[in-house]
């Protein structure tokens, strides 16, 4: 049995006074320490006095007000998440639109040489060759995106925010 110090016993004296439960090591310390005995007696007297005080009833509609506040806080959190997702989606769409606009601008600027269809075919061919070279990276990114969207869908369905 490991001896218990006065500091360790003081941290649980209120609990001991309320429930009367203690470990054998704590009782052993109390048998030998007059200071801790006095503190336990004081804590027990305080518990008896507190037990005689009337218990105040919660105000009417208290539980409903707490539940409403919790629902409101949850709703605010969901709004922040939804707003953030919408902003990220908007930025992604704007980036795609800017990229497409840049591609059309480059193709239009080079169309004056008379080879716009040939230039477009060359650009598409180069893009496909680059995509083939980057296929593992693209596949990994697509898998991560699908996993993220799946986790998001699951969390939305099961209310795990």
Q: Record the pTM.
A: 0.37
What local confidence, expressed as pLDDT, does residue 14 receive? Answer: 86
pLDDT of 116: 62
Q: What is the pLDDT of residue 111?
A: 55
Residues in contact with 135: Cβ distance below 8 Å, sequence separation at least 6, in sequence order:
none
Q: What angle do CA 117, 123, 127 make, to 5 degrees?
A: 145
CA distance 92 to 96: 6
Position 143 scores a pLDDT of: 93
pLDDT of amino acid 2: 73
Mean pLDDT by 10 residues, the chain (161 residues): 80 85 84 88 90 85 88 85 90 91 70 62 80 85 92 80 53
Q: What are the sequence ranges of the domains in the chain?
A: 6-52, 62-158
Sign of the dihedral through C-alpha 108, 110, 114, 118: negative
């Amino acid at each position: 049995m490991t001896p218990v110090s006065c500091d360790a016993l003081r941290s649980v004296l209120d609990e001991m006074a309320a429930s009367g439960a203690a470990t054998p090591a704590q009782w052993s310390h109390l048998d030998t320490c007059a200071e801790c005995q006095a503190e336990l007696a004081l804590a027990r007297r305080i518990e008896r006095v507190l037990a005689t005080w009337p218990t105040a009833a919660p105000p009417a509609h208290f539980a409903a007000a707490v539940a409403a506040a919790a629902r409101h806080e949850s709703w605010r959190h969901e709004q922040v998440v939804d707003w953030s997702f919408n902003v990220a989606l908007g930025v992604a769409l704007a980036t795609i639109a800017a990229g497409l606009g840049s591609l059309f601008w480059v193709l239009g600027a080079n169309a004056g040489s008379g080879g716009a269809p040939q230039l477009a075919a060359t650009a598409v061919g180069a893009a496909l060759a680059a995509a083939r070279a980057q296929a593992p990276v693209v596949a990994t990114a697509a898998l991560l995106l699908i996993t993220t969207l799946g986790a998001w869908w699951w969390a939305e369905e099961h209310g795990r925010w």
